[in-house]
Structures are given as structure tokens and as C-alpha cells.
Amino acid sequence: MHLFFNAKRLHGLLLHGPYSWLLISRLLHFGIAPVSQHIRVKRAPSSATTLYYGLNSSYSVGQVLFAALALFAIRKGVTAMGQGFGFLLGLLAACAWFVISLLVLKSPQPRMTGTLFAALSVEVALTV
């Protein structure tokens, strides 16, 4: 009950939501798409396979690094992440990931993850 009376603390906890979701979902995507398929040898060695692994790996690792850096900044108390600039940066990143997933990746899961990240970011922006 005390949490809801302290708006600044509640906003800080809500701010962790989108970036934690992005970090967890991208780690799972990285484990499922490129790593497990490589371990199970689901694709024959070819240039298309290398492209598939490279695109999925770089897409996932880029989002993991972005989320980890954002969570680190939030944890250290960087107030810009909870202000307009931080929200704009997150939404621009989500739009860029959505466009990349439309143009390059064939599976719908990265698009859904990016859309949910954007929705969570908007939700946090509305609590300011």
C-alpha cells in the first residue's frame, strides 16, 4: 500500500518493466532461434544458413545490449531514462526494430516483442 502513495518509486519500478521484458524476451529468442537450431543442426550449411544465424543473432544481441544498458542506467539513477528523452529513445529504437524485423526477419515473434516493448514504454510514459 505504501508503494502506491510514493509515485516516484512506483514510476521507477514501472520503468524497469519494458527493458526487463526486452532483455528476457530477446535472451529467450536468441536461445530458441539461432542457438537451439544450430545445436540440433536444423539447417544445412550454406550461405543462407549463415545469413539466418547472423541476422537473428545480431538482432537479439543488439536488443539485449540496449536493454541491459538501459537497465544499468536506470539502476544507477540516470533520470533521463524516466524523462521524455529516455522515452523517445526507447520508442525510436522500437520503431527501428519493428522496421528491421519487417524487412529482414520472417518470423512474427520479433515484431510482437517490439510492439509489446513500445506499448509498455508508452504505459510508463503515461505514468509520469
pLDDT range class, residue 65, cuts 50, 70, 90: very high
Distance of CA 7 to the CA centre of its chain: 25
- Tell me if the pTM is above 0.85: no
- 6 versus 45: the higher-pLDDT residue is 45
Q: Are 122 and 5 in contact (CB under 8 A)?
A: no
Quick: pLDDT tens for 71-126: 888 888 777 776 778 888 888 998 998 998 899 888 888 888 888 988 988 888 88
Tell me which residue has cell 544458413.
Answer: 49
Distance CA 112, CA 33 (A): 15
Closest CA to 125 of 17, 5, 4: 17
Whether the predicted pLDDT of 68 surpasses 90: yes
DSSP state of 107: -
- 56 versus 78: the higher-pLDDT residue is 56
Quick: pLDDT tens for 11-44: 777 888 888 989 999 999 888 888 888 899 888 8
| DSSP output for 31-48 | IIIIIHHHHTT-S-SSHH
What pLDDT, on the 0 to 100 scale, is given for residue 5? 65
Distance CA 63, CA 120 (A): 15
Whether the predicted pLDDT of 1 surpasses 80: no
Distance CA 72, CA 45 (A): 38
Tell me, what amino acid is at 3?
Answer: L
